[in-house]
Each structure stands twice: as C-alpha cells, then as structure tokens.
C-alpha cells in the first residue's frame, strides 16, 4: 500500500484534534493527527501499543507517571493499557503507528 500526502480525508476525533488513517496492514495502522493549539487529549488507555513522532508544533505528552514537552523530531512509545494524554501547546502534526490495528480508525471506504 502506498499513501500520497493529501489534506483531504481528516475527521474530527475530539474538538481541535483531527485524524486521518494513512496506511494499514494485517498488524499495524498508521495515522496522522492534526491538533490545534489549546486542544487536549484526555488521559485514556487502550489495548493498542502505539509509537509516534512529532512532525511539527509542540505538545505536552503524559505517559503513565511521566510527562514530557515534545518538539519536532521527538518520538514516543506507549505500551498497551498504559494511561496517556496530551495538551496541545502549538498547532501540531503527529504521526502514530498502532498495533494491533485499531478497527475504529479504519476508513469506511478504503
């Protein structure tokens, strides 16, 4: 599967946080997140392991008991069932990979 960058196809996951699934396979799914300054991702946990990379912007990411200010080029990994959340400090773009595939992130019409 190939993906060609496009500004189309994003959906609002939470106020100020838009998501688009860009690739997926049998075991992993990659998603792009576009997040507006001032938005927040409430602390939550899920079975999926996720690894991410901040493309642009500035976020404050909490994973378990640790908190880190994340800048472009910084990356993270979150084990499944570990509580995490984020404050969006500047307009930001992140790319994350989930395993297993998040069925709720699969496009309706692939």
CATH of 12-101, one of 3.30.1330.50, 3.40.50.300, 1.20.58.1880, 2.60.120.10: 2.60.120.10
Q: What is the pLDDT along the chain (110 residues), one digit of tens a residue?
A: 899 999 999 999 999 999 999 999 999 999 999 999 999 999 999 999 999 999 999 999 999 999 999 999 999 999 999 999 999 999 999 999 999 999 999 987 55
Domain ranges within the chain, ordered by starting residue: 12-101
Q: Output the pLDDT for position 110.
A: 52
Cα distance between the two ends of the chain: 11
| Residues 60-67: contacts with CB under 8 Å, at least 24 apart | 60/86, 60/87, 60/89, 61/85, 61/86, 62/86
Write out pLDDT tens, residues 65-89: 999 999 999 999 999 999 999 999 9
């Amino acid at each position: 599967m190939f993906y060609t960058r496009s500004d189309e196809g994003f959906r609002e996951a939470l106020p100020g946080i838009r998501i688009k699934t860009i690739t997926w396979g049998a075991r992993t799914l990659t998603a792009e997140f576009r997040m507006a300054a001032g938005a927040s991702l409430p602390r939550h946990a899920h079975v999926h392991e996720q690894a991410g990379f901040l493309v642009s912007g500035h976020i404050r990411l909490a994973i378990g008991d640790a908190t880190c200010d994340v800048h472009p080029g910084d990356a993270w990994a979150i084990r499944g069932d570990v509580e995490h959340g984020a404050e969006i400090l500047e307009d930001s773009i992140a790319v994350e990979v989930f395993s297993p595939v998040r069925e709720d992130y699969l496009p309706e019409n692939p």
